[in-house]
Amino acid sequence: MNPLRTSIQAAFTEDFCIELEYHLSRAFHNCDDKKYKWHWCDGIDIPDWHNQPAKNPHHVFTMSYFGENDRQYLYKTTIKLGKRALENCREGLGLSECLPDEDTLDWITLDVENKEIVLRLK
């Protein structure tokens, strides 16, 4: 495994997955768009580090449980690490400060039909 992927793996802890889950749920709850207001996340899996594609080390691929109201579905989840997140990983720091603002959904791309979600960290 390359050094960057090792650093990303060390920063992408179970605690961070839980924090990201709640942060994502709050972002949807805070939005003004009634279409998305009641969406929420019920868990983000720790990535399977042995099956991460080597061609794009700045992305983390995993699964999350996501839905609306009481219905949850399994979503393919891509987490794109921005400059700040990559810098934090290289420096051995956590990813909490790399979470985007909870008052906007501009860091989230949701494809309900194909059950995919993309999250972009700072």
For the stretch 5-46, pLDDT in tens is 899 999 999 999 999 999 999 999 998 888 777 888 999 999
What is the token pair recorded at 52?
């991460």
Share of the chain above pLDDT 70, in %: 99
Residue 71: is its pLDDT beyond 90? no
Question: What is the chain's length?
Answer: 122
Tell me the two tokens of residue 45. Answer: 């899996």
pLDDT band for position 1 (cuts 50, 70, 90): low
Distance of alpha carbon 69 from alpha carbon 57, whole angstroms: 34
pLDDT > 90? residue 67: no
